[in-house]
Amino acid sequence: MVLHTSKDLKTSACTASGRPHPVVVMLLFLPEIVREKFYGCGAPLPLGIEGRSVLDLGSGSGRDCYAAAALVGPTGSVVGIDMTAEQLSVARAHAEQYCKSLGYDRCNLNFVEGYIERLEEAGIQANTFDLVISNCVVNLSPDKPRVLREVYRVLKPGGEFYFSDVYCDRRLPKNVQEHEVLWGECIAGALYTNDFIRYARAAGFGDPRILSSAPIEVHDPELKAILGEAKFFSITYRLFKLPEGMLETLCEDYGQASAQAVRYKGTIKGMEHSYMLDDHHLFEKGKLSLVCGNTAAMLENGVSWLAPHFEILGDRSVHYGEFPCKLNFYKLSNFQSDLLC
């Protein structure tokens, strides 16, 4: 089946999940065709990325690239890569005009043809991007571990893969994996979340963090019957490329009472009052939060792209055992603790 616009879809997979942040919504004064051909399942648009370089995997008609171009500003740059010529031509057609409308002297948007498993062949060098984003694309790749390895390669040290995709609560049987309609709906290629975590760690991304998650609804009765009890989710993951060995398997305690603690400076535009690192870390401006070694590393000076926005107290000189994050794990809806993992 050929999709002409997102209205042709039979599930909510390619249009699901979190709405873009309000700042991003304001930026989306885009040509209708770019918006109509958007097939994303989330809002992988990090804030605080002024001046940064961003790569969008499977950029499609370019909606997220356009939004990112506005977020990085005239000193930043955005590259979208996609294998489909038709999508690329839609994305390219409006880029110059859009950059002019942002008041830029030079267009900071570039779209290249290529495969996300073979970024090098598309001319994308190692250690070149601060952020890699992607929206509902990795599920379509026949070689997901290779995509993760490629992303790790092209990210700068301290950079991040911040992306939304479709996941499943189990490994899908062959008849589902090979179902043409379910493939086009971004369902058939959905990874079992535990397999994804294994692949991410193997590629070098220790401690994958979930930022947001939303269930995907399958409305079509025939497709529902094929899928049985399998449950699907649109998840936005955050994977940091930090120095080897720095992200540990478990949450470790380096003296959270007096040493490793984090204070958000409130310096990210659009998130002046608090910063949400993931689904269990909301840092209020100015307030000290006690964290494990991994979380501190994701925000630390000389280690992470987020460092300018955080103050870290303490270091790793003394280890006090495992950080008791499970005892103190509060979802944001009933967030009550200063002790975080």
Ligand X SMILES: C[S@@+](CC[C@H](N)C(=O)[O-])C[C@H]1O[C@@H](n2cnc3c(N)ncnc32)[C@H](O)[C@@H]1O
Contacting positions for ligand X (CB under 6 A): 14, 38-40, 58-61, 63-64, 82-84, 87, 115-117, 135-137, 140-141, 186
Q: Smallest gap, in angstroms, from Cβ of residue 234 to ligand X?
A: 11
**Phi, psi values for residue 11, rounded to 5°:** -135, 170
Q: Smallest gap, in angstroms, from Cβ of residue 331 to ligand X?
A: 27
Cα 171 → chain centroid: 22
Q: Smallest gap, in angstroms, from Cβ of residue 151 to ligand X?
A: 12
Q: Smallest gap, in angstroms, from Cβ of residue 57 to ligand X?
A: 7
CA nearest 155: which of 123, 128, 122, 120?
A: 128
Rank residues 119 and 303 by Cβ distance to ligand X and give the closer one.
119
- Name the residue number minimizing CB distance to ligand X: 60
Rank residues 39 and 240 by Cβ distance to ligand X and give the closer one.
39
Q: Smallest gap, in angstroms, from Cβ of residue 2 to ligand X?
A: 12
**Quick one: DSSP state of residue 21?**
P
Cα 45 → chain centroid: 7
The tokens describing 206, both together, are 């220790």
Work out whether strand 191-192 and strand 209-215 pair parallel, antiparallel, or are unpaired: unpaired
Q: Smallest gap, in angstroms, from Cβ of residue 89 to ligand X?
A: 12
Rank residues 16 and 186 by Cβ distance to ligand X and give the closer one.
186
Work out whether strand 232-240 and strand 155-168 pair parallel, antiparallel, or are unpaired: antiparallel
- Encoded amino acid at 254, one letter: Y
Rank residues 72 and 136 by Cβ distance to ligand X and give the closer one.
136
Query: What residues contact 173, with CB distance under 8 A and at least 6 apart?
Result: none
CA nearest 266: which of 309, 304, 295?
A: 309
Dihedral angle of Cα 29, 30, 36, 42, to the nearest 10 degrees: -70
Rank residues 41 and 271 by Cβ distance to ligand X and give the closer one.
41
Rank residues 132 and 246 by Cβ distance to ligand X and give the closer one.
132
